Amino acid sequence: MQPVMSRRAREVQPFRAMVFGEQADRMIADGIDVVKLSLGEPDFGAPPAVRDAMREQYDGRALPYTAAMGLPELRRAIADFYQERHGLSIDPKRIVITSGGSAALLLATALTVDSGDEVLIADPSYPCNRELVKSFEGTVVDVPTSAATRFHLTPELVAQYHTDRTKAVMITSPSNPTGTTIDFNVLKSVCDYAREHGMWRIVDETYLDLADREPDGSEVKSVLECDDGAIVCNSFSKFFGMTGWRLGWAVMPDDDDVLKAVDDLATNYYLCAHTPTQHAALACFTKESLDECERRRQELLTRRRIVVDGLKRIGLPVEVEPNGAFYAYFNISSTGLDAWTFCERALAEAHVALTPGRDFGAATADTHVRLSYAASQEALKEGLDRLGRWLPTL
């Protein structure tokens, strides 16, 4: 007799972007020319110097575990990166190297959430965070947001949803699926409110270094500029194009008890991040690699223009222009279809793979669709042309 799986295993939600992506792959394998705009994976790959450095790692050396908190040189290199890019002085002891941003979020959740604790999350937002909170028996409080708040939390919303069980706010900026940043003054007010009420602030900055300027023209800033006690999660996957390399980091508050707990959690969960990747990732911080990543960021800005203008042209304008990541989140309710049917039919009839809003929460589940512009300019133009020809047939 098959033993019963845990409740969490029985109830975990699939990541539907993957489901649509897999369906698109099956169609491609059947010889159908599908334009895939469903996955959040940059098409650039790691900078060349990092690939070279990785080759050197496989010269027969032993490759032992590193410390659970990560390779000291890499922690220092990340601290220097904060100094150079964001003007922030971060003690390397606060940086923990993780297996992707995913494991940074896992550590952050494990560190902060107990059974029955409530965590406030903007709806729509990155789906995996909900599953992490549920894994630690926390309660996700989805706070419906809209274009009016750039699809982010505000201090007013946090105050409205705050109860005596609220333990943390989780913010992703720039956001997946909307590609919008939280206005820095709003971020500061949310963090001030949360701190004053004894809540953790967990801020996912996975897309921070891909961001463009704020709508008012100012630089996009890390939460650490306004809240040094926030827990920041970040990744080598997006800005450095290293999705499959599985490397990320978190910046933890400067508190010895917290740092010891993080060390112990990391040791118990995975001992350390992949040793060769940690060594190779040092090459991310050379001038050559950073220049390469900056060129790619500029390329993404060009692609964003193509997508934002293209969606407007075909009658599906984005409500809030993205200024980070590589996503556009647009309202399809004018088509008379719900977002799931829209995506199913776009794939079957126009051969364009997109992601329905249902992945990202309930608030925009039926009305919005995510387009990922981590695809070539040609693919984006073709995808938009196909959608433009298909829409009048609905």
Q: What does the binding site for ligand PLP look like in residue numbers (CB under 6 A)?
A: 40, 100-102, 126, 172, 176, 204, 206, 235, 237, 243, 248
SS3 state at 350: helix
Residue 153 parent element (H or E): none
Q: Which residue, 105 or 191, is less far from ligand PLP as judged by CB?
A: 105
Output the smallest distance, CB 373 to ligand PLP, in A: 14
97: amino acid identity, one letter: I
Phi, psi of 36 (to 5 degrees): -95, 110
Residue 203 parent element (H or E): strand 200-204
Output the smallest distance, CB 126 to ligand PLP, in A: 4
Output the smallest distance, CB 138 to ligand PLP, in A: 18
Q: Which residue, 142 or 351, is less far from ligand PLP as judged by CB?
A: 142
Q: Which residue, 193 or 360, is less far from ligand PLP as judged by CB?
A: 360
Q: Are 135 and 6 in contact (CB under 8 A)?
A: no
Tracing tokens 């009305």 back to the chain, one arrives at 367
Output the smallest distance, CB 104 to ligand PLP, in A: 7
Output the smallest distance, CB 110 to ligand PLP, in A: 15
Q: Which residue, 149 or 175, is less far from ligand PLP as judged by CB?
A: 175
Output the smallest distance, CB 345 to ligand PLP, in A: 25
Q: Which two tokens stand for residue 285?
A: 């911080």
Q: Which two tokens stand for residue 126?
A: 């990155």
Residue 157 parent element (H or E): helix 155-161
- Exposure string of 246-271, with b = 16+ CB inside 10 Å and e = fewer, is bbbbbbbbeeeebbeebeebbeeeee
Q: Are 118 and 163 in contact (CB under 8 A)?
A: yes
Q: Which residue, 119 or 387, is less far from ligand PLP as judged by CB?
A: 119
CB atoms within 10 A of CB 92: 18
Q: Which residue, 174 or 387, is less far from ligand PLP as judged by CB?
A: 174
